[in-house]
Amino acid sequence: MNLAKISANGQITVPVEIRRQLGLKSGDKILFLQNQNGEIVVSNASAAAIRKAQAAFTGAAEAIGVSNEDDIQTLVDKARYGKEG
């Protein structure tokens, strides 16, 4: 169990073990979420944002026919030069 004391300004120091488990470093932001049981869960906000973006883009490459680096280069060339290759 890890405890943290709240200062008069509402600040807390996240225990080192928790910082390590969440992959937090100085300047990172933490996210407080309430789960379905009403419990508050703490998460690394950056990691949560990345997971949300990954979920949003799942299947996007397949949907536009991208399956390898050559397909990506073709898209880049088309965007840059208005043509393929």
Give pLDDT tens digits for 8-42: 999 999 999 999 999 999 999 998 989 999 999 99
Q: Spell out the domains of the chain, with CATH numbers in brackets.
A: 16-60 (2.10.260)
Residue-wise pLDDT for 40-82, tens only, equals: 999 888 887 777 888 888 888 888 888 999 998 988 998 999 8
Give the number of other Cβ atoms within 10 Å of residue 74's Cβ.
Answer: 16
What is the pairing mode between strands 30-34 and 40-44?
antiparallel
Supply the pTM of this predicted model: 0.54
